[in-house]
Chains A and B, each alone.
Chain A
Amino acid sequence: MMSKTVTTKLLGSMRGFPSHRMNYAQSAVARELIKSRELEKDDLRPLYMDFQATTPMDPRVLDAMLPYQVNYYGNPHSRTHAYGWESESAMEKARKQVADLIAADPREIVFTSGATESNNMSIKGVARFYKSKKKHVITTQTEHKCVLDSCRVLEAEGFDITYLPVKTNGLVDLQLLEETIRQDTSLVSVMTVNNEIGVRQPVEDIGRICRSRNVFFHTDAAQAVGKIPINVTDWKVDLMSISGHKIYGPKGVGALYVRRRPRVRMEPLQNGGGQERGLRSGTVPTPLAVGLGAACEIAQQELEYDHSRVSMLANRLLRKIMSEIPDVVMNGDPEQRYPGCINLSFAYVEGESLLMALKDVALSSGSACTSASLEPSYVLRAIGTDEDLAHSSIRFGIGRFSTEAEVDYTADKCIQQVKRLREMSPLWEMVQEGIDLKSIKWTQH
């Protein structure tokens, strides 16, 4: 472990470098010090504060799934024997549980392998079905990668895609959306709750606008389902993607809600034996579907309890951090958000160094630091975050199983490490002396 004086001297010798180069230097030092590795037998496990990446399975979900992994292993599409019938019955029960959570009809639920597949299916499927008359699709710049990538594929097929910019608080501009809808727009896709900054889009208004202009509305609700109350009829949503492993269910399963009245037509992505109304052929994995259904039922029962608890813990974390250290920015609208996803930018601290320093806590940063280009997250760029702040952002995720002790530990460690890293930062020194960093003319050596 390099001593503090050596590190300070090393960073001090880099005076005169522009600020983004300074951050790179800080992170290069951090990367040298810590090599990533799996936990040793005697290590203590880090706290899990990354609930947006994935969630642990609720014990009640595992309990519901196990019989179907052990004894009730029939194919739900086998029509001729008890193994098939009991498996099918479990699958249909799960379908109802998923439908009840979003106030839909069970016939409108299609089981898929996850939200990524659901997103691909809806965007490509709907656009391609209506391509003879409608060639325009609208989405936002802060969507999940799978949505943006599907749109890119459509562009290569000759479609016109508009990637709507968002306001600095992360929300879509409804006026701009209305102006962008054309006669030949077939689909609008806007996610309900963003996975990086936690903002909640005005889906009811977007649904109203789309319905009035006869455009299908798809929303990626992977981070919203089971966390906020959802009603697909009130919201006028036509397609909705659901992910199992974001709501304490199993990984590898998700669902797609496809409205029946008015009917949404789409070209299936996966062809075969015609299962799932022909929209998604393939054997439905009964244990996973049962798990997803159980997770949805539990989420519906626990929604209020979880929401108030997560809000309380999030406020606790925020208050602690904001009151102890200055120059911390929360990315995304402070009101229109899901409380369990907090994205903070710590000025004058490099994000990856902070993550490495917080190795006792499982967190994620808002920038793709692992990529060779060190590009900041496109979501943060879309909301207009300064490049420096984008590199310094950390996402805190709080969920059903988070405890006060974990939140307190995370806050204390974070405060401690931010103070330590800032002490090492020549930029911070300059700011303390009252120098305006934007006025400095950096020179190359």
Chain B
Amino acid sequence: MAASTAQVLSLYRQLMKESKKFPSYNYRTYALRRVQDAFRANRSVEDPKMVEQLLNQGRDNLDMIRRQVAIGKMYPTQKTIVEG
């Protein structure tokens, strides 16, 4: 099953949506920035095997972000100065 643009975009949107939920300012900004930069950097990858591999990495990262967001919410703390 070849990866389609729709799949890539869907993964991107899911990653950004989950990353926004990080309670920690630093983790949140890092995740959003890193996801965006990673997708930009790999924009012109053609090889379907490579694309599939990258998508799988993205999906693993999505699961990781979900878990870490949940953990962050379990141990809440105050906001940082730049957020307030």
Contacts and interface: CB of A to CB of B under 8 A. Distances in A.
A403 B82 contact: yes
A51 to B, nearest CB: 11
Interface string B8-41: 0000000000000000011101110010010000
Interface string A403-425: 10110010000000000000000
Contact of A44 (B37, B67, B78): B78
B78 A41 contact: yes
A46 B81 contact: yes
Interface stretch (A57-65, A79-87, A319-327, A373-381): A57-65
Interface size, A (range): 20 to 34
B29 A401 contact: yes
Nearest to A305: B37
A48 B37 CA distance: 23
B68 A405 contact: no
B43 to A, nearest CB: 16
B84 A403 contact: no
Contact of A403 (B29, B34, B67): B29
A252 interface: no
A45 B71 CA distance: 19
Given A62-B68, A63-B67, A360 B81 contact: yes
Given A59-B65, A59-B68, A62-B68, A44 B81 contact: yes
Given A48-B26, A305-B37, A403-B26, A62 B71 contact: yes
Contacts of B29: 401, 403
Interface in A31-65: 39, 41-48, 56, 59-60, 62-63
Given A56-B26, A401-B27, A401-B30, A406 B82 contact: yes
Interface secondary structure of B, over-half rule: helix
A400 interface: yes
Contacts of B3: none
B73 to A, nearest CB: 13
Nearest to B64: A63
Nearest to B83: A44
B82 A42 contact: no
B81 A401 contact: no
A305 B81 CA distance: 26
Contacts of B27: 59, 401
Interface in A8-46: 39, 41-46
Contact of A405 (B67, B78, B82): B82
A62 B80 CA distance: 22
A401 B78 contact: no
Nearest to A401: B26
Contact of B78 (A39, A60, A403): A39
B77 interface: yes
A45 B83 CA distance: 10
Contacts of B82: 47, 403, 405-406, 409
Contacts of A360: 81
Contacts of A403: 25-26, 29, 82
A338 B68 CA distance: 30
Given A59-B65, A60-B64, A44 B80 contact: yes
A230 B48 CA distance: 33
Contacts of A400: 30
Contacts of A59: 27, 31, 64-65, 68
Nearest to B69: A59
A46 B80 contact: yes
A391 B76 CA distance: 37
Contacts of B67: 63
Give the 8 A-B residue pairs with the shortest CB-CB distance, closest first: A401-B26, A59-B68, A44-B84, A45-B80, A360-B81, A405-B82, A44-B81, A63-B64
9 contacts: A41-B78, A44-B79, A44-B81, A46-B81, A47-B82, A62-B71, A63-B68, A401-B27, A403-B26
Given A62-B68, A402-B26, 13 more contacts: A43-B78, A44-B81, A45-B79, A47-B81, A59-B31, A59-B65, A63-B64, A305-B34, A305-B37, A360-B81, A401-B29, A403-B29, A409-B81
